[in-house]
Amino acid sequence: MKRLFFHTCTVVALLLSGACNDDPTSGDEEAQTRIDISFTCEGSSGDGLWTQQEIHFTNTSQITGSSAAAFEWDFGFQGVGSTSTEENPTVVFTSAGEKTVTLTVTAADGTKVSGSQKITLQRTNGLPEASFTHDPEAPSIGDEVTFTDTSVDSDGEIVSWAWDFGDGNRSELQSPVHTYTASGSYTVTLTVTDNDGGEDTATLNLAVSEAPEAELAWSTLIAEAGQINHGAAALGSSHLYAATTAGELVAVNLTTHQIDWRFDLTKDGAALGDPMNTPSVDSDGTVYYAVGKSSAAFVYAIDGTTGSQKWKYTIGSSGVRVEYNYPLISDQDYIVIGNRGTNGSIIVLSKSDGSERFRGAPAGGVGGCLALAQDGTILSCSTGTNAFTLSSFLNGSWTICNTPLNLWYGNYANGVQPAIDRSGRVYLAVQNQQTGGGSVGCFDLSKFDGSTQLQPEWQVDCDAQIKYSGCVLGPDNRVYVVSQQDSGIGEKAGELLAIHNDGTLLWSWPTESKILCVPAVDNAGNIHLADQEAGNYIIISPEGEILFKEQCCAKSHTSPVIGDDGMVYLLGEQTKGGACYVYAYKLKSATGPADTDWPQYGQNARHTGLQLP
In this predicted model, what pLDDT tens digit does every residue of 236-293 receive, in sequence order? 999 999 999 999 999 999 999 999 999 999 999 998 867 889 999 999 999 999 999 8
Q: Based on the domain organization, do 30 and 156 belong to the same domain?
A: no
Q: Which of 29-38, 412-421, 571-580 has the highest mean pLDDT?
A: 412-421
The one-letter code for the residue type at 243 is A
Q: How far is CA 460 from CA 417, 504, 518, in A?
A: 17, 8, 18
Residue 228: phi and psi, rounded to 5, are -85, -50
Q: Model confidence at 357, in pLDDT bands (50, 70, 90)?
A: very high
Domain with residue 107: its CATH number is 2.60.40.10
Question: What is the per-residue pLDDT for 493?
Answer: 80
For residue 77, the enclosing domain spans 3-121
pLDDT in tens, 102-113: 999 999 999 999
**Whole-angstrom distance, CA of residue 16 vs CA of residue 177:** 86
pLDDT in tens, 552-584: 999 899 999 999 999 999 999 998 778 999 999
Q: Which of 191, 208, 225 is the last residue of a domain?
A: 208
Domain for residue 505, yes or no?
A: yes
Q: Model confidence at 76, in pLDDT bands (50, 70, 90)?
A: very high
**pLDDT above 70 for 15:** no
Domain with residue 264: its CATH number is 2.130.10.10
Paired strand residues for 72 = 104
* Ordered DSSP codes for 505-540: EEEEEE-SS---S--EEBTTS-EEEE-TTT-EEEEE
**pLDDT above 80 for 17:** no
Question: What is the per-residue pLDDT for 130?
Answer: 97
What's the mean pLDDT in 186-214? 93
Q: Which of 121, 154, 183 is the last residue of a domain?
A: 121
pLDDT, mean over the chain: 90
Please report which residue ranges of 194-292 form alpha helices under DSSP H.
Answer: none
Q: Based on the domain organization, do 191 and 226 belong to the same domain?
A: no
Question: What is the per-residue pLDDT for 414?
Answer: 86
Q: Based on the domain organization, do 136 and 38 belong to the same domain?
A: no
Provide, rounded to the nearest whole percent, the portion of the chain with pLDDT above 70.
Answer: 93
SS3 content of the chain, % helix, strand, coil (to 5): 0, 50, 50
User: In 10 A of CB 447, how many CB atoms?
Assistant: 12
Question: What is the per-residue pLDDT for 8?
Answer: 37
Q: Model confidence at 25, in pLDDT bands (50, 70, 90)?
A: very low
| Cβ atoms 413, 407 nearer than 8 A | no
Q: How far is CA 99 from CA 40, 48, 76, 96, 313, in A?
A: 14, 14, 5, 9, 95
Q: Based on the domain organization, do 382 and 519 belong to the same domain?
A: yes
Q: How far is CA 429 from CA 390, 481, 525, in A?
A: 15, 8, 21
Q: Which of 594, 610, 609, 324 minimizes the C-alpha distance to 479?
A: 594
Question: Which residue has better confidence, 309 or 211?
Answer: 309
User: In 10 A of CB 439, how many CB atoms?
Assistant: 22
Name the least confident of 18-27, 28-37, 465-474, 495-504: 18-27
Domain for residue 409, yes or no?
A: yes
Contacting residues for 528 by C-beta, under 8 A, at least 6 apart = 519, 520, 521, 522, 537, 538, 539, 540, 560, 562, 568
**pLDDT above 60 for 300:** yes
Number of residues written out for the chain: 613
Domain for residue 127, yes or no?
A: no
Question: What is the per-residue pLDDT for 319?
Answer: 80
Domain for residue 594, yes or no?
A: no
CA dihedral 342→348→350→355, nearest 10 degrees, is -30
pTM score: 0.69
Question: What is the per-residue pLDDT for 9?
Answer: 38
Q: Based on the domain organization, do 377 and 511 belong to the same domain?
A: yes
**pLDDT above 70 for 29:** no
Q: Which of 189, 208, 227 is the last residue of a domain?
A: 208
Domain for residue 598, yes or no?
A: no
Q: Based on the domain organization, do 461 and 495 belong to the same domain?
A: yes
pLDDT in tens, 329-355: 999 999 999 998 888 999 999 999 999
User: In 10 A of CB 4, how many CB atoms?
Assistant: 16
**Whole-angstrom distance, CA of residue 154 vs CA of residue 239:** 60
Domain for residue 224, yes or no?
A: yes
Q: Based on the domain organization, do 543 and 569 belong to the same domain?
A: yes
Provide, rounded to the nearest whole percent, the portion of the chain with pLDDT above 90.
Answer: 72
Q: Based on the domain organization, do 324 and 434 belong to the same domain?
A: yes
* Ordered DSSP codes for 34-85: EEEE-EEEEETTSSS-BTTSEEEEEE--EEESS-EEEEEEE-SS-STTSEE-
Q: Based on the domain organization, do 294 and 265 belong to the same domain?
A: yes
Domain for residue 604, yes or no?
A: no
Question: What is the per-residue pLDDT for 52?
Answer: 81
Count of domains forming the chain: 3
Question: What is the per-residue pLDDT for 31?
Answer: 53
Q: Based on the domain organization, do 98 and 173 belong to the same domain?
A: no
Q: Model confidence at 196, in pLDDT bands (50, 70, 90)?
A: confident
Q: Based on the domain organization, do 185 and 275 belong to the same domain?
A: no
Going by DSSP bridges, is the β-strand pair 561-562/546-551 parallel, antiparallel, or unpaired? unpaired
**pLDDT above 60 for 30:** no
Domain for residue 606, yes or no?
A: no
Q: Model confidence at 487, in pLDDT bands (50, 70, 90)?
A: low
Q: Based on the domain organization, do 202 and 297 belong to the same domain?
A: no
| CA dihedral sign of residues 209, 214, 216, 221 | negative
